[in-house]
Structure 1
Amino acid sequence: MNALFLIFYGFQEYNGISKKIRYQIEALKDCGLNIRTCYYDITPDGNRQWLIDDHVLTDLGKGIIAKLKKRISFGPILQYIKQEDISFVYIRSYHNANPFTIHFVKALKKQGVKVLLEIPTYPYDQEFTKQKLNLCIDRIFRHKLCKYIDAIITYSNDKEIFGQRTIRISNGIDFNHIPLRETIHDTSKEMHLIGVAEIHFWHGFDRLVEGLKNYYATHPDYKVYFHIVGNLAGKREQQEIEILIFKYELQPYVILHGAQYGKDLDALFEQADLAIGSLARHRSGIYNIKTLKNREYAARGFAFVYSEIDDDFDHMPYILKIPADESPIDISKLIDFYRKQSVPPQEIRDSIRHLSWKEQMKKVVDYYNEH
């Protein structure tokens, strides 16, 4: 079966979402699809292009006109789909429902193509701290767009989104690309925490910074370090994290590493003892979610901490759930939790074998074959 995976932006090596998409595509290939990847990117000299598997499909040019074409002109993609006899298109939502994307999907349906839409986070309205106009347009047109979609892929437990049925999957893992941690440290004198993300306000790392302020106010002998790996997404995150670090004089204990990937990221994980997931998904109105980061931590063999509901992990002995509120994190609880940990890294990794990307994307392929 010929298929196309469509995204509305490009890839970045250090970006977890980019890696996730690569893993999904590889898993769909393992499930028997002849799948190509269509994505949008900007060259170093400013040309805007649609590409198919790193080959230029069409060059939109530069400037405002080219930027506008990206949003409204899908003719070259439609022509490619027809020319290559593609029968299945998997679209990753960019929250860009509008008359042009609706026309695009309707045209696909006229060509007899099945279309599935992945909505990575649902609900997502409260995550829009910027681009409010785009969200307003999306709100107006998303129900109509979804009317022409065959099904919506979601990581939530919702059976219906925007009036359309869903395929419910979990974020998955490509075990071939994520190494198991090798080092268990002596934590009798200090402990190292690690949080990896493109850092948004809903990750709630400021709650941990506030907790460290309270902890160090007691002048403890036992030292706790927090390694933040990833770029701060905006001014709000800078105010809630970077400025607080300096305000509370926590520079020796909270280290901002920026975005890391590959061996550099692996080395930071080897220094760590306990991983930190999202601590404030409630800020974006989300209480039940199956995040990619939780699964990556488990695949590496880490015990970890989070605040949302995640059905795949809530019952696991290597998990510490904290309240989904604005209270500072109690650092002493993290220390006590880790000291009581007895689940070895390999056992943690083995506990999520069923969450491989191949197993998750097989649900999508099975749906296609059955409908």
Structure 2
Amino acid sequence: MPKILGQLKGFKQLGYEMNLLCFNQSSHVVLTSFSQDSEYYLKSKVLAQNNTNLITRRLSLLRLAEQYISERNPDFIYLRYPRSEPLYLYFLAKVRQKRPNLLILSEFPTYPYDQEYEGGCSKKDKLVFLLDKITRNHLKYFIDRVVAINYAHPIFGIDTISIDNGIDISSYHSINYAPVSSDHINIIGVANVSLWHGYDRLIRGLGEYYRTSPHPKYQIVFHVVGAREPYLTELLTLAEQENVSHLVIFHKPTQGKELDEIFLECHLAVGVLGGHRKGLHIMSPLKNREYCVRGIPFIFSHIDPDFPDSFKYCLQLDSSEDAVDISDLISFVEQLRNEENINVSMRNHAFSVLDWSVKLKAVQNYIDKQLI
């Protein structure tokens, strides 16, 4: 939800009046409206109560969306792609039938995504994927453009607008981090952790570091924030197997002041280290952007267009299954230890490159041309 609200705020900064129709955390269908004189969302109105039946709940959202579009007569709609299925195609067909000139854009947060359904996914996920594969090639009859994150080729026969992920910079404040001491380095990774995050590579790296360094220069501690089952158990087991359980600290999902306090003790953050596991080598994960806005140096293992080699506050590792070489991380941290105002420099980069009002300009250019 923070990403979606950030996008809406970015659209508003570009001059569009935007409202959001979606499920909230209680699975109610809500309409979130933005005031005309404020950058922040104003209120959320519940349009339909929670229903435990997934099909009924989805029908409720699509029915209310169709009704809202008919009543408000917008110039364009911006959909977050939910995976295709017959009900979704029916919704698009009815909207297109009633509003043949309506501009319909759909964002694909990840593409390609087929590899996400390989291996041990649930029966529900397998059904979702099957319905998607059966129906997705019909999307081209209803959607005018796909907005794709770091993907510039047609998707299911639909031309794309390629953008990088952005962030609502005002939602994060910069933090002055603890200086690196002479004997320890704290690393933080914040995510609803999955295989694609590749945290296992860092834990295996810690194991190798302590096995090969009887008298290590630094004590390296890895703080994992937000890991949940089933992957939490896998990481716990791996840390035990590598004999680093006492050096891998698992924190419950947290945010706000409590999360800030953990960040204050850390010197380095961990982005995605396993994007190659789903065939992605060019990515723009939100976590990289959040770390940059906060002002903490970070690592990742893919190409991120917003952080070129000249940006010295991040370290790109190999995109492989190899354990992370902890000595590389130590050298990186040591290179920056005497530099002043790192958080200011990183936040300035974020303002100039990462804000959603910057990222959505390519979408704005397309919309404005079509509405002339």
Query: Which TM-score band (shorter chain)?
Result: 0.7 to 0.9
> SS of the counterpart of 2:128?
helix
Residue in structure 1 matching 2:103, options 103, 114, 129: 114
Q: How many angstroms apart in 2 are the aligned matches of 1:146 and 1:119?
A: 14
User: More displaced, 182-191 or 296-305?
Assistant: 182-191
Q: CA deviation at 1:322?
A: 1.2
4+ aligned runs moved over 6 Å, structure 1: none
* Letter matched to residue 46 of structure 2: V
1:166 corresponds to: 160
Q: How many angstroms apart in 1 are the aligned matches of 2:294 and 2:140?
A: 37
1:330 corresponds to: 325
> SS of the counterpart of 1:305?
strand
1:1-371 correspondence to structure 2 within 5 Å: 18-41=1-24, 43=26, 49-53=28-32, 54-59=44-49, 62-64=51-53, 67-72=54-59, 74-95=62-83, 97-110=84-97, 111=99, 112-128=101-117, 129-130=121-122, 131-217=125-211, 218-219=213-214, 220-232=216-228, 234-235=229-230, 237-315=231-309, 316-341=311-336, 342=339, 344-352=342-350, 353-371=352-370
Give the direction of change, closer, same or farther, for the CA distance of 1:42–1:356 in structure 2 (3 Å limit). Answer: closer
Q: How many angstroms apart in 1 are the aligned matches of 2:353 and 2:25?
A: 37
Give the direction of change, closer, same or farther, for the CA distance of 1:252–1:100 in structure 2 (3 Å limit). Answer: same
Q: CA deviation at 1:51?
A: 1.8
Q: How many angstroms apart in 1 are the aligned matches of 2:92 and 2:30?
A: 19
Identity %: 33
> SS of the counterpart of 1:293?
helix
Contact 1:126 1:285 in 2 (8 A): yes
> SS of the counterpart of 2:180?
coil
Q: CA deviation at 1:370?
A: 0.8
Matched length: 344
Q: CA deviation at 1:292?
A: 0.9
Q: How many angstroms apart in 2 are the aligned matches of 1:85 and 1:221?
A: 65
Give the direction of change, closer, same or farther, for the CA distance of 1:62–1:298 in structure 2 (3 Å limit). Answer: closer
Q: How many angstroms apart in 1 are the aligned matches of 2:183 and 2:46?
A: 55
Normalised by the size of structure 1, how large is the TM-score? 0.87
* Letter matched to residue 45 of structure 2: H
Q: CA deviation at 1:159?
A: 2.8
Contact 1:226 1:255 in 2 (8 A): yes
Q: CA deviation at 1:41?
A: 4.1
> SS of the counterpart of 1:160?
coil
CA deviations 1:48-78 (Å, max 9, x no partner) are: 532212212234x6443xx222334522321
* Letter matched to residue 65 of structure 2: I
Q: How many angstroms apart in 1 are the aligned matches of 2:29 and 2:180?
A: 51
Q: CA deviation at 1:368?
A: 0.9
Q: CA deviation at 1:222?
A: 1.7
Contact 2:283 2:303 in 1 (8 A): yes
Could you tell me which runs of 5 or more consecutive residues in structure 2 were left unpaired when the two chains were aligned: 33-43
Q: How many angstroms apart in 2 are the aligned matches of 1:175 and 1:71?
A: 32
Contact 2:51 2:57 in 1 (8 A): no
Q: CA deviation at 1:42?
A: 6.5
Cα RMSD of the aligned pairs, angstroms, is 1.9
Q: CA deviation at 1:104?
A: 1.0
Contact 2:111 2:151 in 1 (8 A): no
Could you tell me which runs of 5 or more consecutive residues in structure 1 were left unpaired when the two chains were aligned: 1-17
